[in-house]
Structure formats: structure tokens, C-alpha cells
């Protein structure tokens, strides 16, 4: 494999796994190879107890320009269906992950790149980042969960403009409308994403697994969520981490959580 082949690399930095999309010939376009590599890493991370949070970013100066159009030529309807089903596996590997995910976006998060970023719990965008559901430009609709994730972050009106008009959203605008949570200087999105991932890694993991699972079921009714919090909290009250949390609270020091 040459360094220009599409892939996703993984590096660990303490308790944080950094996944980097690399498809340099096509601005990190989302080829089947990239998708498969991402799912593979997510599956490995799921069982790696040393990892507490995940950062997803793009190699070079861009996040991902979207689906790889060169791999969509002459696709039959059923080949397309298989592709969407494979996309679903990737969406679920991130959405159902029990570890929090931060996206660091420089340059383009277009099409499937936008969908990928929106699967993250927290998105850091560099000032010159831009976001676009560019699907319509090639006669397609949004996919990879975009119809579900986007309206959880922006208003119904804005979601329509983004999905139906393929409007390009700048980083500043993205922050204002809630599409991203944080802005960085150009070239600094990864640094700031690492800081947020570090905060997530230091947080108590067990309650966050339950919280992430509960919020992953949205939309939900009041009583579903009240039942969820009662069941979950009952279990957590007796965890070693709650004992540590209470001890640190009364001793006025920082807690050290073990995930037990």
C-alpha cells in the first residue's frame, strides 16, 4: 500500500485515539476503503480499555470532501443499496460507540464528510472550515444519518436550507446556528479538539456511557428518559467511581475515575 492509498490512520495520545482520514488524491473523500478502515478502528477501540475518547480528523488541511464520486460511476441500484448499508455500519460504529467522539474540522466537511462530522459529540471547526450537504449537486439526497443528526443541532428551517439548497456554511455561521460547538484559529482545530477530548477522557466513563446511550435514542418521551435516569443512577450510586467522586468532593480534590 502506498502512502497515497485511501485509508484511516490511528495514533494514541494517552487515553485518546486520534483517527485521521487520509485520501490525499481526493481531499479525503469517503471511499469504501476509508469507510471500512474507520469501522475497523472503531471496533478495535470499543474493546480497548485504555482509550477513553476519540478524535476524528482529516489528514492535510481538510476534513473530508464527501463521497468519492470516482467510485460511484456505473453503480447499479443494488450496488448503491449495499453502499448505503455499509454506510449504516459506519454510522452505528460511531453513534453507538460507548466512548465520546470529537471532530476536528479544517477545510471542507462536504457531503458524507459533513455527515461524519455530525456524528461527533463535539465539533471544533477552524475559521476557514466550511460545511455543505453537497449531495444535491450530484443529484443525490443527504445520507449517513444526516436527516437524523442535523436537525438535532440546527433549527428545522436551517436544516431545510442546508439539505435542500446545499448552502455552504462558514465556520462562524456554523457556530452561530449550533452546527459546530467551537471555533479555532486555522491549523489549530486538532489542538482544541484534543483539549476537549482530554476533558471527556477525564470525566467518569460509566455515567457517560449511559448518558450517550440515552441521548442516542432521541427523540424520546419524558417518561422514557425518567425511567432511564432512575435505572442508570441506581446502578451508578454503588460504583467505585461514585465512591471516589464523593470522597474527592468532600476532600476538595480532583477525582480520578477508573471506569468501575
Nearest approach, Cβ of residue 235 and other proteins (Å): 6
Cα(29)–Cα(36) distance, integer angstroms: 13
Beta strand segments in 74-232, E = 101-105, 108-110, 122-126, 130-132, 169-170, 182-184
**Does 225 contact other proteins by CB under 8 A?**
yes
Element (DSSP H or E) covering residue 17: strand 16-22
Which residue number, 33 or 182, has a Cβ lying nearer to other proteins?
182
Which residue number, 61 or 212, has a Cβ lying nearer to other proteins?
212
Total number of residues that touch other proteins (CB under 8 A): 56
Q: Which residues of 153-179 are buried (b: 16+ CB within 10 A; e: fewer)?
A: bbeeebbeebbeebeebebeebbebeb
Strand partners for 110: 132
Span of 41-49, 73-81, 138-146, 222-230 interacting with other proteins by CB under 8 A: 222-230
Residue from 2, 157, 234, 253 binding other proteins (CB under 8 A): 234
Question: Among residues 23, 2, 119, which one has the least CA distance to residue 69?
Answer: 23
Residue from 105, 180, 189, 190 binding other proteins (CB under 8 A): 180
Residue from 25, 81, 96, 231 binding other proteins (CB under 8 A): 231
Angle (CA) 136-183-101 rounded to 5° is 75
Beta strand segments in 127-178, E = 130-132, 169-170
Which residue number, 17 or 119, has a Cβ lying nearer to other proteins?
119
Q: 27 in the Ramachandran plot: left (φ > 0), alpha (ψ -120 to 50) or beta?
A: left
Binding flags for other proteins, 127-166, as an x/- string (CB under 8 A): ----------------------x--xxx------------
Residues within the interface to other proteins (CB under 8 A): 100, 120-123, 149, 152-154, 178, 180-181, 196, 199-200, 203-204, 206-208, 210-212, 214-215, 218-223, 225-239, 241-246, 248-249, 255, 257
Amino acid at each position: 500500500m502506498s502512502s497515497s492509498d485511501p485509508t484511516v490512520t490511528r495514533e494514541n495520545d494517552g487515553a485518546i485515539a486520534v483517527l485521521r482520514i487520509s485520501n490525499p488524491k481526493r481531499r479525503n473523500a469517503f471511499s469504501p476503503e476509508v469507510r471500512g478502515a474507520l469501522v475497523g478502528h472503531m471496533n478495535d477501540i470499543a474493546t480497548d480499555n485504555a482509550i477513553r475518547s476519540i478524535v476524528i480528523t482529516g489528514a492535510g488541511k481538510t476534513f473530508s470532501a464527501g463521497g468519492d464520486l470516482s467510485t460511484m460511476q456505473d453503480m447499479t441500484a443494488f450496488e448503491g443499496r449495499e453502499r448505503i448499508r455499509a454506510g449504516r455500519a459506519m454510522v452505528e460504529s460511531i453513534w453507538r460507540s460507548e466512548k465520546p467522539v470529537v471532530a476536528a474540522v479544517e477545510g471542507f466537511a462536504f457531503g458524507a464528510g459533513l455527515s461524519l462530522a455530525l456524528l461527533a459529540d463535539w465539533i471544533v471547526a477552524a475559521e476557514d472550515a466550511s460545511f455543505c450537504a453537497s449531495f444535491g449537486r450530484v443529484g443525490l439526497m443527504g445520507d449517513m444519518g444526516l436527516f437524523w443528526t442535523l436537525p438535532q443541532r440546527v433549527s428545522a428551517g436551517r436544516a431545510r436550507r442546508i439539505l435542500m439548497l446545499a448552502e455552504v456554511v462558514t465556520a462562524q455561521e456554523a457556530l452561530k446556528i449550533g452546527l459546530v460547538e467551537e471555533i479555532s484559529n486555522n491549523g489549530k482545530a486538532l489542538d482544541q479538539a484534543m483539549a476537549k477530548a482530554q476533558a471527556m477522557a477525564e470525566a467518569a466513563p460509566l455515567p457517560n456511557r449511559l448518558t450517550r446511550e440515552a441521548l442516542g435514542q432521541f427523540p424520546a418521551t419524558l417518561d422514557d428518559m425518567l425511567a432511564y435516569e432512575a435505572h442508570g443512577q441506581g446502578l451508578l450510586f454503588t460504583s467505585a467511581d461514585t465512591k471516589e467522586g464523593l470522597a474527592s468532593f468532600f476532600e476538595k480534590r480532583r477525582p480520578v475515575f477508573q471506569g468501575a
